[in-house]
Each structure stands twice: as structure tokens, then as C-alpha cells.
Structure 1
Amino acid sequence: MQFQIDNMGCGGCARSITTTIQAHDPAAQVMIDLPAKRVTVTTQADVTAIEQALLQAGFPPQRIA
């Protein structure tokens, strides 16, 4: 799954996003493209659960098809 996260602007944001996702699935692989503000996640977790976690962490995601 891929997300656009427009308010991700620094390495600290990227670490927070990775930590948030891995709290739901410790085995999740998270790839951050900071300049493009995109996050690619390989996980068995439910996409809606990941979206809600990111939203609660202050990083509203937009799902990329």
C-alpha cells in the first residue's frame, strides 16, 4: 500500500510514521520517500487500521491506488 502524507517534512516525521506503522505490525516494511512525501508499506495489517493510526499520530494519509 502507498500513502501520500503531505505534512511529512523531515526525518523525525519519517521515524514517527515508521514507528506508528510498526506498532500495528512489527514485521511491516516501511519505505519513506521524503522529497515526494510518499510512504510505501508492506504489511499484513488492515489498511484502514494503518490509516487510522497515522491519522491519530498527526499524519493524515491519502491512499494512492
Structure 2
Amino acid sequence: MSEQTYTYKVAMSCSGCSGAVDRVLKKTAGVSSYDISLEKQTVVVNTSLSQQEVLDVIKKTGKAAEIA
């Protein structure tokens, strides 16, 4: 599968929240890069995974997340 860029809305209220998302994405095979914006409450991910697979990984943090 080719590389895709997906944007997600993720409920993050502090740097600990964004840190949790950072930790799971860092460990996920197929994720080449990502940008977490605590201010905008968004996560932009460049990946070879499907949009749903990445959403499921983000949801493992316990944060409310949805496709933006």
C-alpha cells in the first residue's frame, strides 16, 4: 500500500495526553511520520496503514479520537 496522510481529531488536554499518543505512534510499524498539535487537538499521520488501523492505535491511549 502506498503512503497516505490522515488527520484525526484527538481529545488531548495536556502534554501527558499528547505524549501518550506520541508513544503509541512511535512504536507502530508502518507510521513514517506524524505531527501532534495539542493546540488544535489534531494528529496528522503519514503511514502505509489504513486510516482505521491508525485510528485504532490512537484509541489504545484511551483518548477520544475520530477521523477529521
TM normalised by structure 1 equals 0.77
- How many residues align? The count is 63
Q: Does 1:53 align with 2:57?
A: yes
Q: After TM superposition, give the deviation of residue 37 of structure 1 in Å.
A: 0.5
Q: Specify the SS of the correspondent of 1:17.
A: helix
Tell me which stretches of 4 or more aligned residues in structure 1 moved more than 3 Å: none
CA RMSD of aligned residues (A): 1.7
Aligned to 1:43: 47
Contact 2:9 2:67 in 1 (8 A): yes
Gaps of 5+ in 1: none
Q: After TM superposition, give the deviation of residue 17 of structure 1 in Å.
A: 0.4
Higher strand share: 2
TM normalised by structure 2 equals 0.75
Deviations 1:20-58 (A, max 9, x none): 122222652111111110111111122211111221220
Matched residues, percent identical?
16
Gaps of 5+ in 2: 1-5
Correspondence for 2:7 among 2, 6, 23: 2
Aligned to 1:17: 21
